[in-house]
């Protein structure tokens, strides 16, 4: 047995972290001003976007991590809504033997970092299929968001 396997056995079972399934829980694409929205001269689209991250324990070894994205895209000149996208996109993750002190980071950084590119692709494809240019969400730094949230919680507890 290798030294690495011996160390893992002595400390307990090795941690396991794996994406089991990606799935859409809810999805909506609305084009409330069609067909007029296609004929706006020189449109200047602007997106109002909200992202929410949730997680829940499914059973002893599985967690669901869900990204909820809601975006309303308007033409800034006419203030007309071009389209609205709402997505609840989730991943089911197998997690075994992960030390408790790392669970929050795994749930708030590692899992959404895996799910987000797929969510981004779904939103982009939906906007194209709806007759518009691709809706491109900027990459997200979930680690920085998590660190900011932890710092805010520490400040609230101290103050």
- Extract the tokens encoding 106: 């795994």
Residue 35's CATH number: 3.10.420.10
In this predicted structure, the answer to whether residue 159 has a pLDDT above a threshold of 70 is yes
Tell me whether residue 66 is in a domain: yes
Domain, as residue range, for 131: 13-154
Q: Residue 8: pLDDT band by 50, 70, 90 thresholds?
A: very low
Asked whether the beta carbons of 80 and 51 are under 8 A apart, the reply is: no
Using CA atoms, how far apart are residues 17 and 62, in angstroms rounded to an integer?
Answer: 10
In this predicted structure, the answer to whether residue 38 has a pLDDT above a threshold of 80 is yes
Tell me whether residue 97 is in a domain: yes
Phi, psi (rounded to 5 degrees) for 29 = -130, 120
Tell me whether residue 30 is in a domain: yes
Average pLDDT of 8-15?
68
Average pLDDT of 94-122?
96
Q: pTM to 2 decimals?
A: 0.85
Average pLDDT of 53-80?
96
Number of independent structural domains in the chain: 1
Share of residues in the chain with pLDDT > 70 (%): 93
Tell me whether residue 26 is in a domain: yes
Tell me whether residue 2 is in a domain: no
Per-residue DSSP letter, 121: H
Q: What is the pLDDT of residue 6?
A: 44
Report pLDDT digits (tens) over 115-126: 999 999 999 999
Tell me whether residue 125 is in a domain: yes
Tell me whether residue 8 is in a domain: no
Average pLDDT of 65-87?
96
User: What CA dihedral angle connects 95, 96, 97 and 102, to 10 degrees?
Assistant: 10
User: What CA dihedral angle connects 49, 55, 58 and 59, to 10 degrees?
Assistant: 160
Tell me whether residue 1 is in a domain: no
Q: What is the pLDDT of residue 152?
A: 87
Q: What is the pLDDT of residue 11?
A: 57
Per-residue DSSP letter, 42: S
């Amino acid at each position: 047995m290798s030294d690495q396997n011996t160390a893992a056995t002595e400390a307990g079972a090795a941690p396991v972290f794996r994406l089991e399934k990606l799935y859409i829980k809810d999805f909506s694409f609305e084009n409330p001003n069609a067909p007029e929205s296609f004929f706006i001269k020189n449109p200047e689209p602007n997106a109002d976007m909200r992202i929410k991250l949730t997680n829940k324990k499914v059973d002893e070894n599985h967690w669901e991590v869900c990204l909820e994205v809601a975006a309303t895209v308007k033409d800034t000149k006419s203030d007309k809504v071009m389209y609205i996208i709402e997505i609840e996109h989730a991943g089911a993750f197998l997690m075994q033997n992960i030390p408790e002190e790392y669970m929050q980071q795994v749930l708030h950084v590692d899992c959404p970092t895996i799910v987000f590119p797929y969510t981004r692709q779904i939103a982009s494809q939906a906007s194209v299929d709806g007759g518009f240019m691709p809706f491109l969400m900027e990459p997200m730094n979930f680690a920085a968001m998590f660190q900011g949230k932890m710092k805010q919680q520490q400040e609230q507890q101290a103050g």
